Amino acid sequence: MQLFRHDRLWRRHPIKPSYDVVIIGAGVHGLATAYYLGRAHGIRKVALLEKNWLGYGASGRNTAIIRANYRTPEGVPFYLASLGLYEEMSHELEWNVLFTQCGHLTLAHTDSSVNGLRVRAETNKLLDVQSALIGPEEIRRLVPGLDLSARPRFPVLAALWHPPGGIIRHDAVVWAYARACDRMGIEIHEHTEALGIRTEGTDGARRVTGVTTNRGEIHAATVVNCTAGWASTVSRMVGLDLPLVTHPLQACVTEPLKPFLTPVIVSSNLHVYINQTDRGELVIGAEIDPYQCYSLRGTLPTLEQMAQQTLELFPQLHSVRVLRQWGGICEITPDYSPIISGTDAVQGFFMDVGWGTYGFKAGPIAGKCLAELLATGRANPLIEPFALSRFSQDRLVGEKAAAAVSH
């Protein structure tokens, strides 16, 4: 179908009284879930509720790093499957999502970090992920501009090199899913806030019956929480307290520079990561702000920290101007792994949350597996380890080593 400039990628609809599935939150996870419900399972009476506009949340604010070099045997195949779906996405959704597989380099500045990266490299290789520990000579070949001298307070000792990692255009991903959902008749309702979730039955046998929104009541037997940083607030609507804390995460972008940096650079010790866009700008990200809150604003202390850590790696950037800084919010679990499951406490209530600072790359596979769970009642082996029940069964999936700073 030819697309004309005046065609909207997704349409507006009146709210219907009832849907088979209501998804709260239209970021990459909500959209991917809706897409696979429609495409793989023929479930198209689906409403996506978004209290702001498409991509308002972290899906429109992230630094768009895609990679699969995680640490745990549960995490690695999951993220590898998502990387594969991203590789096919432009073709599958007929929309160029500008995925550049420029490689991903995680620097280690201490002996303990080198050991951690070595374990990751070996785990990755066993699970068919291209990943290797490399020394300063090879790092210099990949990033000639990086300061590999003994001058910095924490000189670079080694790095984890992951060639298939890279950068995608995050808003293109969101638009592509939205367009594909719209074409299947799935409804996207922007400026539609879920204010409450209705249930019936008593404790132990409670089930979802619908959602109360600022545009009226909706009946639905299945409701999905895909609200990332706001996930705790939505789960509390059914009386569920999730093991999540929400922190701001900030990033900034500089003026454009002559191309000098090809791979994505992450420093696991300095807590900074950098990539150069096709336009020449440097996108720089930090670790999470140290306090819990729902603020989306950039702050001067975090900007100072990002600048300082960047100059440890690239002192030649001392006079580069920052054009823009922004923040998003991220919900973090105790083990740095997501929660993708239903709950025995409330039948018909599902969640795909706990994405911390690293969930954009997981959108396609999380959506695909969650759609399968909703349609068939069976959890795909890729998401079995990530059920909410793991917290009461002491089966945590400790992914902090590969997820805390390295987005």
Ligand X SMILES: Cc1cc2nc3c(=O)[nH]c(=O)nc-3n(C[C@H](O)[C@H](O)[C@H](O)COP(=O)(O)OP(=O)(O)OC[C@H]3O[C@@H](n4cnc5c(N)ncnc54)[C@H](O)[C@@H]3O)c2cc1C
Nearest residue (CB) to ligand X, 148 versus 192? 192
**At its nearest, how many Å lie between ligand X and the CB of residue 26?**
6
**At its nearest, how many Å lie between ligand X and the CB of residue 286?**
8
**At its nearest, how many Å lie between ligand X and the CB of residue 168?**
9
Nearest residue (CB) to ligand X, 93 versus 249? 249
C-alpha–C-alpha distance, residues 149 and 188, integer Å: 53
**At its nearest, how many Å lie between ligand X and the CB of residue 109?**
21
Nearest residue (CB) to ligand X, 136 versus 326? 326
**At its nearest, how many Å lie between ligand X and the CB of residue 274?**
11
**At its nearest, how many Å lie between ligand X and the CB of residue 205?**
26
Residues listed for the chain:
407
Nearest residue (CB) to ligand X, 139 versus 340? 340
Report the DSSP beta bridge partners of residue 341: 351
Nearest residue (CB) to ligand X, 82 versus 343? 82
Nearest residue (CB) to ligand X, 148 versus 313? 313
Report the DSSP beta bridge partners of residue 400: none
CA 114 vs. chain centroid, Å, equals: 26
Nearest residue (CB) to ligand X, 148 versus 242? 242
Nearest residue (CB) to ligand X, 124 versus 325? 325
**At its nearest, how many Å lie between ligand X and the CB of residue 11?**
18
φ/ψ of 108, rounded to 5, equals: -120, 135
Name the residue type at position 153. R
**Please, what is the Cα angle at 96 between 95 and 99, to 5 degrees?**
135
**At its nearest, how many Å lie between ligand X and the CB of residue 251?**
4
For residue 260 the two structure tokens come to: 């000098």
For residue 128 the two structure tokens come to: 């068919």
Integer angstrom CA distances of residue 251 from 34, 36, 343: 29, 31, 34
Catalog residues that contact ligand X under the rule CB under 6 A: 24-30, 49-52, 56-59, 61-65, 193-194, 226-230, 234, 249, 251, 285, 328, 330, 355, 357-361, 407
**At its nearest, how many Å lie between ligand X and the CB of residue 290?**
15
Nearest residue (CB) to ligand X, 118 versus 271? 271
Count the alpha carbons within 13 Å of 395 in the hemisphere toward its beta carbon: 11
Place of tokens 């539609």: 192
Number of other CB atoms surrounding residue 246 within 10 Å: 18
Query: Following DSSP, what letter does each residue of 300-353 receive, concatenated?
Result: HHHHHHHHHHHHHH-GGGTTPPEEEEEEEEEEE-TTS--EEEEETTEEEEEEEE
Residues 6+ apart with CB under 8 A from 67: 79, 83, 104, 162, 164, 165, 166, 264, 361, 406
Integer angstrom CA distances of residue 114 from 111, 119, 158, 268: 5, 9, 6, 10
Which among 328, 306, 302 is positioned nearest to 317, based on CA atoms? 306
